[in-house]
Chain A
């Protein structure tokens, strides 16, 4: 009865953060199982799989870093530094970091943009954390797809509403509708985005949380013949003079 009363007084933000925490713990449990099995297998086979353990630990560290960043954003949103941000440089830096994790999953990380894009007004750390978080969710998911093309592309392009920055793969895995359903399900079910991943996809929802704290919205997006998730950013038009 006491528990019921407690639940009654939780506001919707608290419930959302509990759900995000549950999604994160589910993802962590899965990573810890992988580490445990890797150690056990090495004890049986004598094969040195320490690089797998290191990379899985790095995966967990990146996810917790992004989660913590999202929590701080929610708590101290007003103190956020907004600055002119170069999307290309953020994508480049994120790609470098993702490659370290992608290698054990047999996934290639490519940059896919050409030409100059304007600077946008945003928070670089927030954008980087959300793209990183999204990227590691896709890296983990991709080997489980029917498609054998294990490439993820970090890309940017102009659209009617601004500049899109996103992460893309070569098969269509999500629609806006399935993403919407996933948003309602994460933290409640083990596999909220069944078309994307066999796992809890915590990285997607952590990215979603960070972006919504930055007043941005994660959406399904197309880039050339690629499908993915991206965010629309507003260019700073007055800086166009600086070229």
Chain B
């Protein structure tokens, strides 16, 4: 039997979270959505995601705050994170290195510049 692969999608936009979930579900992934950083933290223990897909642009607490919180727990330090964002990579400028090194982000995809297929390919790379 094929092992279930859990993905936590942290995305505030209702429509995007719906269509990404459907597309990833069709590719065999089990997807749960958290629309805020707080909801994501609450969901992690119960859902035990293998990979987190994160939009840093969230209400209240940003995705970067979420990453700091996530990495502060010993047992969550190695969950791979893919950033999938409306924010162009270039806007992170100097803090981009920090995202990859300190916060262990594996991949940065820009929503307007990458397809769902690119996201699925990135997930396969990290499987």
Contacts and interface: CB of A to CB of B under 8 A. Distances in A.
Interface in A23-70: 29-30, 32-34, 36-38, 40-42, 44-45, 47, 49, 52, 56
Given A37-B19, A52-B19, A146-B39, A190 B116 contact: no
Interface string B2-34: 000000000011111011101101110000000
Contacts of B12: 143-144, 198
A52 B112 CA distance: 18
Contacts of B19: 34, 37-38, 40-42, 49, 52
Interface residues of A, number: 35
A191 interface: yes
Interface of B: 12-16, 18-20, 22-23, 25-27, 35-36, 38-39, 55, 57-60, 62, 86-87, 111-112, 115-117
Interface of A: 29-30, 32-34, 36-38, 40-42, 44-45, 47, 49, 52, 56, 104-106, 140-141, 143-146, 173, 190-191, 194-199
Contact of A194 (B18, B38, B62, B86): B62
B15 A105 contact: yes
Contacts, number: 96
A45 B27 CA distance: 9
Contact of A37 (B20, B35, B59): B20
Contacts of B59: 141, 144-145, 173, 194-198
A198 B58 contact: yes
Given A34-B15, A41-B20, A191 B57 contact: yes
B84 to A, nearest CB: 10
Given A36-B112, A146-B36, 11 more contacts: A34-B16, A38-B19, A40-B116, A41-B23, A44-B23, A44-B27, A44-B116, A56-B15, A144-B36, A195-B60, A198-B58
13 contacts: A29-B112, A36-B112, A45-B25, A49-B19, A49-B22, A56-B15, A104-B14, A140-B14, A144-B58, A145-B59, A146-B39, A190-B57, A195-B59
